[in-house]
Chain A
Amino acid sequence: MAVIRVDARGMACPGPISALTKAYRKAKNGDILEVLATDPGFKPDVQAWVKRTGNELTELTEEKDYIKASIKVTAKKT
């Protein structure tokens, strides 16, 4: 299991989800994708992405200057 950090701070929609998607393509089941973003639409967007792809959102918090989402990769076809 690896923790993969995706720093999407400063990216506008749909940049953060694109960055997440790119990282997801290389990830394996059990990995954690930790995404940092500043786009105001990121919270609902990442929830929608998780719902669509069937992975697990383990954390979604608003820090002072950014939003942090942690996603456990569970839906990769092996």
Chain B
Amino acid sequence: MVNNMAKGLGIVMFSGTADCFIPLGVLTQTAANLGVPVRVFVTGFALPYFTKNKPEPRFPKEFEDMVPAVHKGLEKMKAPSWYDMLKEAKEVGDVKVYVCSLMAGVVGVEKGDMDPIVDDVVGATFFMQETADYEIIFI
């Protein structure tokens, strides 16, 4: 690393809609490509998509009319899924995915229910400490 950049990137992944999973994948993979460590904290409505029985993310109702064109465009560009981008980012970089312990309790899932992409179920304190010197974004 030769230029100034944040020591890492923290991403609080809250939204459970498909449009928000695209930037999660793109930003995480890009940061990993640049050698920037990433810590993802999964909470809120995003949590079910990080379990073994994950549903397919849905687009928000207000953008419903745009969905066919977006799907077509993604297919045409052969864009990888958010999950594949996250998986690849973990292969090339220092990327960890943590699930919020509070929200896990709220939706009734435990560590054993998580998708293999999840590194651990942690509290907010752990995430804040891990990302103390990082830029944090909220999706």
Q: Hey, which bits of chain A sit against chain B, CB under 8 A?
A: 10-15, 17-18, 20-22, 25, 48-49, 51-54, 75
Contact = CB atoms under 8 A, between A and B. Distances in A.
A17 B28 CA distance: 13
B69 interface: no
Prevailing SS type, chain A contact patch = helix
B35 A53 contact: yes
A66 to B, nearest CB: 15
9 contacts: A11-B78, A12-B78, A13-B26, A14-B26, A18-B88, A49-B33, A53-B35, A54-B1, A75-B2
**B interface secondary structure, majority:** loop
A25 B26 contact: no
A17 B78 CA distance: 15
Counting contact residues on chain B (CB < 8 A from A), the size range is 10 to 19
Contacts of B85: 14
Contacts of A11: 78
B5 interface: yes
Nearest to A19: B33
A53 B29 contact: no
Contacts of B29: 14, 18
